[in-house]
């Protein structure tokens, strides 16, 4: 079994794979911190020994032969520090979607190639009036862009591996029946369809199959998202990864590998994640248009200047100046600084943003789909009501039922024992306790009476009278009703159910007030779903859903033009979390759900859904401001650098361009820091 980090460790693992980096490039396997600092060491002497776009600095550290050192350091820096951007540009161009990486690659490649050309002219060929170089711009652009990536990677939480977590839900071995009837432990990948496996009490079911012998209760939370266990008996279907209860089951395998239920869920998650990974962020769109503008204006400037002056050198210098000025120094920090600030503010309120794109999409969300169990409700069963029948009192009923259930690991049994403990009721002494498949549990009391915990179906089958109106009222609220039967007579009733979270009402109300449609999705039954939806004021809900059903509902909404946020906590929610425009996992949920999500609500508070929407709105507003500041410099500087106003005597010199470039970078940095959490 592969090593699994704790959830807390994963939540603190900044700088890992998977978060949205500027330009949409996934920096898999790249140690940005090391690459940034090595590049910084290389860049410092370049910046000290050269000047920005020919700007004369008051102090220079140049010395005889320093040009050779600058050229050598720049070559190493271009290859090492610039490699992520060159690789990212190749990926963008292969998808015919030039964006931030392509724009950066254009700038650093032009700056490097032209600077080497100028260096050869000036130093090797001895032409003192040769064209200026752009080594300073090359160094600053690479360092600033790497810094931007590193800042954002530190701020945005690293994505976990949902598929790995899902694969680890299965045991590594299975007890497979041999030809002689004995059972031997066999590696899971060697289990074949048609074989019979034995699943002992407390073990995980190794593969999909049909129960051929034995009876038990199986927790299939990964299928339905519901904590309640289901009865497993001959003829029942069980799923690989579900948890067996107290009995031993013999299962004929019907699905392994890619044909198994869990493998199909993994495929749904994988497909959805791949689709989302290609989604554009706003900075990519801006960078694409700047790339097209820079190339178009630069080529046009070369053609016009060459036609007017006939000097190839001047025309080339003008084109290169346009390309270099288009380098997004400000854009390189515009988004990462906002991301760092917004994720810090979010973390302060228990919102862990794993993918920055979620904050950009949040202001456009108009449908929020929410899982019921664990998201809107507490996710565990509690005793809601205890009623005595006849001469018994409620505490005596609870004591007898706790005595019968105290040795069972069944979720319903555990909640009865827990309720007795909370009320300081000591479980009654019961002997000869036995589980009754499909019914409950029975035993003998101290006075010799026979006690049984049973469901309403058993009472109907045995013609034992009970209050049907009370049963209808309790079950109509989505509660599970159990009866205490002593010597064939009902003595008490216990109703158990999942409790709605206190903040769920306010969260739903605020969503509706904003014009956002809340939709509840659940694997639970219709009655339980309707009761919760009615209580919370949710008009639209779907019950009895499997993971693929939730994915289809999310996709249907997206196909209709809605922007969908999905909120869930279970394995069965993972595909829908990955498919939605924004996937939000409850912090108390499963590892798989957390690793499939874009944002994690650490406090598991439904009201944090609204806080996330507010944070997204504020963040997107600040991002747009910074993009205008960053791109605004390019919008003004590129045409002036090309010489569109040269006929009236206005020509942007490289030195002035360098000053404007630095000024825009400072402005976006200050603006990012003004982001507030309200």
Any idea which residues carry the catalytic annotation?
A: 371
Retrieve residue 62's tokens: 């140049």
List the alpha helices (DSSP H) in 229-281: 261-277
Could you write out the three-class secondary structure of 492-542?
A: EEEEEEEEECCCHHHHHHHHHHCCCEEEEECCCCHHHHHHHHHHHCCCEEE
| Cα end-to-end span (Å), the chain | 45
How would you classify residue 521: left for phi > 0, otherwise alpha for psi between -120 and 50, otherwise beta?
beta
CB 250 within 8 A of CB 201: no
Return the closest-CA partner of residue 148 out of 357, 328, 345, 355.
328
For 132, what's the count of Cα atoms within 13 Å in the CB-facing half-sphere?
18
Hey, what's the torsion of the CAs at 451, 453, 455, 461, to 10 degrees?
A: -20
DSSP state of 423: T
* CA–CA dist 589, 500 (Å, integer): 16
Under a CB-based contact definition with an 8 Å cutoff, are residues 502 and 354 in contact? no
CB atoms within 10 A of CB 358: 27
**Apex 139 CA angle, 136 and 142, nearest 5:** 145
Q: Do the bridges between strand 489-500 and strand 377-388 make them parallel or antiparallel, or are there none, so unpaired?
A: antiparallel
Residue 387 token pair: 């009623």
Question: Any idea which residue has 């997206």 for tokens?
Answer: 558
β-strands 216-219, 208-213 pairing: unpaired
User: Could you give the CA distance from residue 462 to residue 471 in angstroms, rounded to a whole number?
Assistant: 17
Q: 678: helix, coil or strand?
A: coil
Q: Are strands 351-353 and 599-601 parallel, antiparallel or unpaired?
A: antiparallel
Residue 339 is inside which H or E element, if any? helix 329-348
439 C-beta neighbours (distance < 10 Å), count: 17
Residue 574 DSSP class: H
* DSSP-based three-state secondary structure for 270: helix
Helix (H) or strand (E) holding 230: strand 229-232
Do the beta carbons of residue 369 and residue 565 sit within 8 Å? yes
What would the DSSP string read from start to end of 213-225?
Answer: E--EEEE-HHHHS
Query: What DSSP character marks residue 373?
Result: I
C-beta atoms surrounding 419 within 10 Å: 19
- How many whole angstroms from its chain centre is CA 62? 50
């Amino acid at each position: 079994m592969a090593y699994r980090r704790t959830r807390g460790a994963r939540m603190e693992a900044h700088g890992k794979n998977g978060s949205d980096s500027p330009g949409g490039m996934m920096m898999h396997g790249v140690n940005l911190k090391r690459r940034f600092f090595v590049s910084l060491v290389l860049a410092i002497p370049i910046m000290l020994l050269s000047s920005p776009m020919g700007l004369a600095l008051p102090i220079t550290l140049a010395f005889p032969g320093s040009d050779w050192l600058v050229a050598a350091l720049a070559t190493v820096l271009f290859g090492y520090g610039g490699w992520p951007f060159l690789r990212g540009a190749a990926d963008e161009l292969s998808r015919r979607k030039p964006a931030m990486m392509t724009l950066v690659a254009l700038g650093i490649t032009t700056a490097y190639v032209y600077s080497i050309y100028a260096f050869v002219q000036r130093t090797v060929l001895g032409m003192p009036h040769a064209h200026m170089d752009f080594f300073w711009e090359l160094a600053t652009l690479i360092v600033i862009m790497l810094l931007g990536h590193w800042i954002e990677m530190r701020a945005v939480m690293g994505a976990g591996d949902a598929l790995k977590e899902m694969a680890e839900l299965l045991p590594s071995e299975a007890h497979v029946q041999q030809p002689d009837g004995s059972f031997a432990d066999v590696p899971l990948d060697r289990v074949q369809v048609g074989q019979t496996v034995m699943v002992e009490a407390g073990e995980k079911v190794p593969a999909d199959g049909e129960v051929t012998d034995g009876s038990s209760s199986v927790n299939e939370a990964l299928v339905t998202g519901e904590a309640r266990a289901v009865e497993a008996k001959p003829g029942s279907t069980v799923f690989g990864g579900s948890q067996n209860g107290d009995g031993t089951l013999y299962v004929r395998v019907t699905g392994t590998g890619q044909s198994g239920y869990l493998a199909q869920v993994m495929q749904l998650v994988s497909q959805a994640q791949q689709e989302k990974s290609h989604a554009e962020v706003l900075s990519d769109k801006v960078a694409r248009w700047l790339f097209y503008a820079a190339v178009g204006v630069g080529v046009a400037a070369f053609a016009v200047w060459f036609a007017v002056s006939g000097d190839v050198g001047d025309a080339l210098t003008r084109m290169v100046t346009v390309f270099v000025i288009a380098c997004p120094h400000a854009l390189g920090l515009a988004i990462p600084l906002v991301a760092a600030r917004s994720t810090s503010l979010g973390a302060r309120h228990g919102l862990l943003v794993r993918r920055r794109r979620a904050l950009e999409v949040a202001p456009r969300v108009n449908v929020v789909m929410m899982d019921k169990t664990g998201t809107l409700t507490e996710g565990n069963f509690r005793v809601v009501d205890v009623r005595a029948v006849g001469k018994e009192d409620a505490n005596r009923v609870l004591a007898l039922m706790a005595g019968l259930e105290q040795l069972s690991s069944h979720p319903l049994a555990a909640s009865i024992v827990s309720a007795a403990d909370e009320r300081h009721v000591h479980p009654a002494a019961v002997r000869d306790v036995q589980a009754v498949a499909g019914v409950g549990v029975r035993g003998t009391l101290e006075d010799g009476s026979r006690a049984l915990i049973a469901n309403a179906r058993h009472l109907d089958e045995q013609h034992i009278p009970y209050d049907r109106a009370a049963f209808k009222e309790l079950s109509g609220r989505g509660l599970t009703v159990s009866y205490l039967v002593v010597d064939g007579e009902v003595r008490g009733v216990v109703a158990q159910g999942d409790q709605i979270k206190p903040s769920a009402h306010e969260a739903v109300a605020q969503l509706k007030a904003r014009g956002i449609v809340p939709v509840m999705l659940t694997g639970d039954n219709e009655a339980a779903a309707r009761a919760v939806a009615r209580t919370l004021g949710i008009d639209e809900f779907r019950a009895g859903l499997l993971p693929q059903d939730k994915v289809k509902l999310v996709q249907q909404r997206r196909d209709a033009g809605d922007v969908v946020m999905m909120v869930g906590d279970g394995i069965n929610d993972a595909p829908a979390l990955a498919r939605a425009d924004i996937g939000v996992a409850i912090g108390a949920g499963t590892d798989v759900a957390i690793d499939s999500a874009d944002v994690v609500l650490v406090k598991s508070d439904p009201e944090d859904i609204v806080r996330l929407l507010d944070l997204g709105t504020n963040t997107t507003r600040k991002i747009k401001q910074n993009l205008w500041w960053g791109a605004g410099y390019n919008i003004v500087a590129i045409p002036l650098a090309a010489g569109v106003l040269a006929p009236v005597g206005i020509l942007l010199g490289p030195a002035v361009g360098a000053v404007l470039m630095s000024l825009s970078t400072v402005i976006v940095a200050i603006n990012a820091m003004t982001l507030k959490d309200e």
